[in-house]
């Protein structure tokens, strides 16, 4: 079942989306395979800490967030991966590790790999390990207003 917060937000903004059920999977690459979506088109949400503030880095499933590149681009003193205990309470309606890339709903900045904007649609975890949502990328961008950065390798 998708995050109620996310579903209500999309419905209230009259955004068209589809939900895709898939077999239980925990890594973004496995989810993409299970849902029959190319890894480069599946968005993975990684929770990071930028100078002790939680934020989202959103990259294609087959990428890793390059923390050094992000630190340099943001001219930050400290960037690191957040631990589950640091962010779990921020997502009460999501399974751990299945957070949707909507930082605006969870009081977080969002940094998106530019390569995701090259596709017509974006597919992402919907709050569970057995369902993803797909929507038009331009709609996603207008709702979330992410910052674009070269974040991955």
What does the pLDDT look like over 114-130, one tens digit per residue? 889 988 999 999 898 88
pLDDT at position 12 is: 96
User: What rounded mean pLDDT belongs to the chain?
Assistant: 88
pLDDT for res 27: 72
**Arithmetic mean of pLDDT, 140-151:** 87
- Percentage of the chain surpassing pLDDT 70? 92
> In this model, does residue 8 exceed pLDDT 80?
yes
Q: Which long-range CB contacts under 8 A does 22-26 form with residues at least 24 apart?
A: 22/130, 22/131, 22/132, 23/130, 24/129, 24/130, 25/129, 25/130, 26/97, 26/129
Of 61, 67, 65, 55, which Cα lies nearest the Cα of 35? 61
Q: What is the per-residue pLDDT for 48? A: 96
- Mean pLDDT within 42-62: 93
Alpha-carbon distance 17 to 136, whole Å? 8
User: CA-CA distance, 147 to 32, in Å (whole number)?
Assistant: 24
* Nearest-angstrom CA–CA distance, 89 and 107: 12
pLDDT tier at 1, thresholds 50, 70, 90: low
Domain parsing of the chain, residue ranges: 4-149
Domain 4-149 indexed as CATH 3.90.960.10:
yes
* pLDDT(80) > 80: yes
What's the pLDDT score for residue 150?
66
| Residue 153: pLDDT band with limits 50, 70, 90 | low
């Amino acid at each position: 079942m998708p995050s109620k917060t996310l579903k209500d937000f999309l419905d209230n903004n009259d955004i068209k989306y589809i939900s895709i059920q898939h077999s239980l999977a925990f890594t973004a690459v496995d989810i993409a395979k299970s849902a029959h979506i190319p890894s480069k088109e599946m968005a993975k949400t990684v929770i990071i800490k930028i100078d002790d503030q939680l934020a989202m880095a959103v990259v294609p499933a087959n990428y890793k967030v390059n923390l050094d590149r992000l630190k340099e681009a943001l001219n930050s003193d400290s960037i690191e991966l957040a631990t589950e205990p640091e962010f779990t309470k921020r997502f009460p309606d999501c399974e751990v590790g299945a957070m949707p890339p909507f930082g605006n709903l969870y009081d977080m900045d969002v940094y998106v790999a530019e390569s995701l904007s090259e596709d017509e649609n974006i597919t992402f975890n919907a709050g569970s390990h057995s369902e993803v949502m797909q929507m038009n990328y331009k709609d996603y961008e207008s709702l979330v207003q992410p910052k674009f950065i070269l974040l991955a390798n």
